């Protein structure tokens, strides 16, 4: 659910998150809230931001870091696509 109460379009056809996957989504939401914006809209979450988060969280295992990065980038692609489609409709 978004802040305005709308359900994200990607969530309409997806099953609920497994409890073990919730942590990845929570990190994504934290990073997404601090993303930069340009004149044309939101910028992708930078790899450096994911790296900084991993440092602060004390996540040191390289394979775990790569898994977070891969999942966060995947969620970001979906979110940015949704924002672009919504912007086209207005």
In a domain, 77, yes or no: yes
Token duo for residue 20: 């073990």
Q: Is 9 inside any structural domain? A: no
41 sits in the region (left: phi over 0; alpha: psi -120 to 50; else beta) called left
pLDDT for res 88: 83
- The verdict on residue 54 lying in a domain is yes
As a whole-number percent, the residues of the chain with pLDDT over 70 amount to: 82
pLDDT-based confidence at residue 4 (cuts at 50, 70, 90): low
Structural domain includes residue 5: no
* pLDDT tens digits, 31-69: 999 999 999 899 999 999 999 999 999 999 999 999 999
Cα gap 18→40, rounded to integer Å: 34
Please, which residues have CB within 8 angstroms of residue 60's CB and are 6 or more apart in sequence? Answer: 54
Pair 33, 47: CB distance under 8 Å: no
Residue 45: helix, strand or coil by DSSP?
Answer: coil
Q: How many CA atoms does the CB half-sphere of 16 hold within 13 Å?
A: 2
Q: What is the pLDDT of residue 18?
A: 73
Residue 63 inside a domain? The answer is yes
Containing H/E element for 88?
helix 62-89
> Is the predicted pLDDT of residue 87 greater than 80, yes or no?
yes
CB 72 within 8 A of CB 50: yes
Q: What is the pTM of this model?
A: 0.77
The predicted pLDDT at position 44 comes to: 97
If one counts the domains in the chain, the total is: 1
Domain that holds residue 29: 19-89
Residue 89, pLDDT score: 79
């Amino acid at each position: 659910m978004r802040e305005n109460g709308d359900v994200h379009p990607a969530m309409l056809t997806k099953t609920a998150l497994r409890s073990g996957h919730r942590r990845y989504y929570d990190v994504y939401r934290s990073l997404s809230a601090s993303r930069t914006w340009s004149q044309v809209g939101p910028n992708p979450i930078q790899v450096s931001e994911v790296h900084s988060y991993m440092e602060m969280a004390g996540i040191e295992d390289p394979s775990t870091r790569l898994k977070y990065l891969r999942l966060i980038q995947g969620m970001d692609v979906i979110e940015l696509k949704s924002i672009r489609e919504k912007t086209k409709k207005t």
